[in-house]
Amino acid sequence: MNIIVCIKQILDPEIPPAKFKVDTVAKKVVCPEGIPLVVSPYDEQAVEAALRIKESRSDAKLTALTLGGAGAKDAIKHVLSMGVDEGIIVNDDAFEGSDAFGTAYILSKAIEKLGDYGLVLCGRQAADWDAGQVGPVLAEYLGIPVVTVAKEVAAVDGKVTVKQVLADGYRVLHMAMPALVTVSSEIGQARLPSGKGIVMAARKQVTVWSSQDLGCDPGRIGSGAARAELAELFVPSQDRKSEIITGKDVAEAAGNLAGVLRREGAI
Amino acid sequence: MDDHRGVLVVGELGQSRLATVTRELLGAGRRLADELGEPLGLLLIGDAVSGCDTEASALGVDTLYVAEGPHLAAYNGDVYMEIAGTVAGETAAAVILMGHTTAGREMGPRLAARLGGSLFTDCVDLALDAARWLVATRPVYGGNAMAGFVSKTLPQIATVRPKAMPETAACTGKNMSTVAVSTDSTLSRIELSEVVVEEAAGPRIEDAGVVVAVGAGVRQEDFGLVCDLAQVLGGAVGGTRLPYEEGWIPASSQIGQTGKMITPDLYVAVGISGAPQHMAGCTGAKRIVAINNDPEAHIFKMADYGIVADYKEALPVLIEKIREMTGA
Ligand SMILES: Cc1cc2nc3c(=O)[nH]c(=O)nc-3n(C[C@H](O)[C@H](O)[C@H](O)COP(=O)(O)OP(=O)(O)OC[C@H]3O[C@@H](n4cnc5c(N)ncnc54)[C@H](O)[C@@H]3O)c2cc1C
């Protein structure tokens, strides 16, 4: 059974907030120098979910798929070294500026080209734009059922069983394959690449497909097909008091804090 | 524009009334519908939904679409999607709103894919521009930045973050019409077998007036101190990712982007650094207090009041003082 995991390379979401800068004119986030891009953590967790399925059934073959430019190969090599079997990059100048619908369309063309698959996994959202759109849209384009925000995914025989995170617990859902699942961090930490994995990944060829290889409709890709426009991007202002309460020692400071909160009616 | 008209809210049900997020959506929806000079519709899907008609009418709904049946009691992605897709298609609404909830996170993108519309998820503000296109504001980059998008395509679909917009006060009921929606063609490829509730004892963090949150700076053996502080404050205990991963608190008590968004009057962060993905969950708190022993910790910039101290020294005194003051 083929499992396809869609991954995206992004700015490390855990950089210190002080390093996060926006160019409000270009409406772009400025990548701080010397900080390498990473595979979006939720996508790493989708890879982790796929690897756990592979451990439970010997016929599982994992393919990572990414839409990307220059750094995409690093992202693919990273997940290959975690244990993914194959990597595919779809890349073309014509893809530039595609929105979630364009991206999902391109990924659907690549998945159709791959042909036979049982399960498609995505992160619940890319940890840069946090939109969470590509996964469910991709499922619609592929004509397969979808469950989002999973904390556990099992694939036994022709069925996939998903624990979907809810506000106050979870629920258990079943779908016949092929199906698509988006994975959340509740699945637990993704494994680190192993030494052997890194060596194996270095030897692997990564396939690259262009728009022509996929037979993409030019009217559905790139910035021209985008259904909305980014009008502004800014760092929100902070209106908290940021007042440090002091005292001659910790006990006095803590007492003063209680006093301030009491005076304000907060306690 | 073209023949798209009106605002459609895809609602959800709470305890024998509309869900809070749906009441918030109706506020935003009514405002947008008035600006457009077009009607506001509400779609309710469920086991027994007609009991919500008085409430819907009082919140300014012009047309209530009711999809009712015992097989609709629990949210099913395929079944709900089929109904929402049919109603959205037939009414040709220009704006379609739903909560950024389990249902909305799935239905929003799927509806946009089917109807060919634009889509904005997890919105905290909605407006119209001069040409009457939807302008949606939403946090991006883990809450580090905000982005404003302008739609270029109809219909315009938005999922709205719960608690980001005020609930509307009831108005003097409208002349609401009710339309029954067919629920026949409801083939599902998704089967539900079990719902498991996992909640911490005591008040829920999303309802509590006071929330004390535990971070990775607190040692497991001191978790009880944090609980004691919550107890004297009459509040609930929440936390960051590590306490959840370590099993001190359930998933439903994690606060942040992947966890919950909460809006208490008082939020006390103990041993928490203030990462944007965590703060995304508590920016709506009225007052934020931080206890951290690192004077450079980012949380102090995000807080109203802070004390630079080891929580082990600060918490016992704080608990004692609050006890004295409140008699708790
Ligand atoms: C995509 C994504 C989504 C995420 N979603 C969430 C989310 O929903 N919720 C969430 O919480 N996190 C989330 N995270 C993780 C988040 O980025 C941070 O890593 C996390 O919030 C840090 O938790 P913390 O503040 O408890 O720990 P740390 O960052 O390790 O901070 C611990 C703090 O404790 C202080 N401290 C240590 N000892 C003491 C002491 N004795 N007394 C007082 N203070 C002390 C330290 O000075 C430090 O500031 C997410 C991350 C990513 C990438």
Whether residue A139 lies within 8 A of chain B, CB to CB, comes out as yes
The stretch B49-74 carries a mean pLDDT of: 93
Closest to A140 (Cβ–Cβ): which among B110, B144, B190?
Answer: B110
Nearest Cα of chain A lies from the Cα of B190 at a distance, in angstroms, of: 5
Residue of chain B nearest A237, judged by CA positions = B145
What residue's CA is closest to ligand 1, atom 29? B273
Ligand 1 pocket check: which of B161, B277, B312 to mutate, most ligand atoms within 8 Å of Cβ?
B277
Q: Can you list the alpha helix ranges (DSSP code H) found in B248-310?
A: 276-279, 299-302
Residues in the ligand 1 pocket, defined by CB under 6 Å: A 13-14, 41, 127; B 215-217, 240-242, 254-259, 271-273, 275, 277-278, 281, 291-294, 297, 310-312
Closest to A254 (Cβ–Cβ): which among B135, B192, B318?
Answer: B318
Please give the interface size between A and B, counted as residue pairs whose CB atoms are below 8 Å apart: 257
Nearest Cα of chain A lies from the Cα of B171 at a distance, in angstroms, of: 30
pLDDT (tens digit per residue) in B11-54: 999 887 999 999 999 999 999 999 999 999 999 999 988 789 99
Question: What is the distance between the alpha carbons of residues B37 and B23, in angstroms, rounded to a whole number?
Answer: 20
**Interfacial B residues in 199-218 facing A (CB < 8 Å):** 199, 204, 206, 210
Report the C-alpha dihedral over residues A52, A144, B104, A232, rounded to 10 degrees.
90
Cα A6 to middle of ligand 1, angstroms:
28
For B205-262, the DSSP string reads: TTT-SEEEEE-TTS-GGGHHHHHHHHHHTT-EEEE-HHHHHTTSS-GGGBBSSSSB--
Q: What is the pLDDT of residue B185?
A: 64
Q: What is the pLDDT of residue A70?
A: 82
What residue's CA is closest to ligand 1, atom 27? B216
Please list every residue in chain B whose beta carbon sits closer than 8 Å to the beta carbon of residue A183: none
Q: What is the pLDDT of residue B186?
A: 64
Q: What is the pLDDT of residue B173?
A: 61
- Say if the Cβ atoms of A240 and B303 lie within 8 Å: yes
pLDDT (tens digit per residue) in B233-278: 999 999 999 999 999 999 999 999 999 999 999 999 999 999 999 9
Closest to B190 (Cβ–Cβ): which among A175, A232, A254?
Answer: A175
Whether residue A30 lies within 8 A of chain B, CB to CB, comes out as no
Q: What is the pLDDT of residue B174?
A: 66
Burial B148-184 (b: 16+ CB within 10 A, else e): bbbbebbbbbbbbbbbbbebbeeeeebebeeeebebe
Nearest Cα of chain B lies from the Cα of A256 at a distance, in angstroms, of: 9
Under-50 pLDDT residues of chain A: none
Q: Pick the atom of ligand 1 nearest to B298's CA.
A: 49
Q: What percent of chain B has pLDDT over 90?
A: 89
Q: What is the pLDDT of residue B109?
A: 98
Whether residue A157 lies within 8 A of chain B, CB to CB, comes out as no
The pLDDT-based confidence of B301 (bands split at 50, 70, 90) is very high
Structure tokens at A53: 């399925």
Structure tokens at A136: 């469910």
Q: What is the pLDDT of residue A262?
A: 94
Q: State phi, psi for A215 to the nearest 5 degrees.
A: 65, 40
Whether residue B128 lies within 8 A of chain A, CB to CB, comes out as no
The stretch B87-106 carries a mean pLDDT of: 97
Please list every residue in chain A whose beta carbon sits closer than 8 Å to the beta carbon of residue B243: none
Whether residue B109 lies within 8 A of chain A, CB to CB, comes out as yes
Ligand 1 pocket check: which of B141, B161, B273 to mutate, most ligand atoms within 8 Å of Cβ?
B273
Residues contacting residue B176 through CB under 8 Å, at least 6 positions apart:
B53, B56, B57, B61, B62, B63, B64
pLDDT (tens digit per residue) in B104-134: 999 999 999 999 999 999 999 999 999 999 9
Closest to A229 (Cβ–Cβ): which among B77, B150, B315?
Answer: B150
In chain A, how many H helices and how many E strands? 7, 15
For chain A, what percentages of helix, strand and coil (3-state, to nearest 5) are there? Answer: 35, 30, 35
What residue's CA is closest to ligand 1, atom 30? B216
Question: What is the distance between the alpha carbons of residues A28 and A50, in angstroms, rounded to a whole number?
Answer: 33
- Say if the Cβ atoms of B318 and A170 lie within 8 Å: no
Nearest Cα of chain A lies from the Cα of B303 at a distance, in angstroms, of: 5
The pLDDT-based confidence of B137 (bands split at 50, 70, 90) is very high
pLDDT (tens digit per residue) in B161-175: 999 998 877 776 668
Give the least confident one: A3-12, A211-220, B82-91, B178-187: B178-187
- Say if the Cβ atoms of B192 and A267 lie within 8 Å: no
Q: Cβ–Cβ contacts within 10 Å for residue A236, how many?
A: 13
Please list every residue in chain B whose beta carbon sits closer than 8 Å to the beta carbon of residue A146: 77, 106, 110
B286 within 8 A of B304, measured Cβ to Cβ: no
